[in-house]
Amino acid sequence: MIYHAEELVRQWVYAGADALEAASHIIPLWKDSVIITQEIQSFSPETEKERQWREAVIQVNALLMTYADTVERVRNGVATNLKG
């Protein structure tokens, strides 16, 4: 399966859920999956919900990296192996 993590985090945040807690329950079920997410640290949101979402994505990305066997960053079409 392929998952887009930041969109799932957006759903959790807008539903009022604790995204990091939700992720900690679901990430172990994603074994043998490909997770696609974005680095959004430089993104400057205008609303409080968007700020919450940005912070949650950063936290969930960090959690994803602890579970991942392999982590790659792709910038401008160039992949850099970060883990694995």
- pLDDT tens for each residue of the chain, 84 residues long: 788 888 899 999 999 999 999 999 998 888 888 888 877 766 677 899 988 998 999 899 999 999 999 999 888 899 999 998
pLDDT at 3: 82
Strands 71-75 and 34-36: unpaired
Q: 20 CB contacts (<8 Å, ≥6 apart)?
A: 56, 59, 60, 63
pLDDT at 31: 83
Q: Are 57 and 6 in contact (CB under 8 A)?
A: yes
Give the integer Cα–Cα distance in Å for 70 and 49.
31
pLDDT at 30: 87
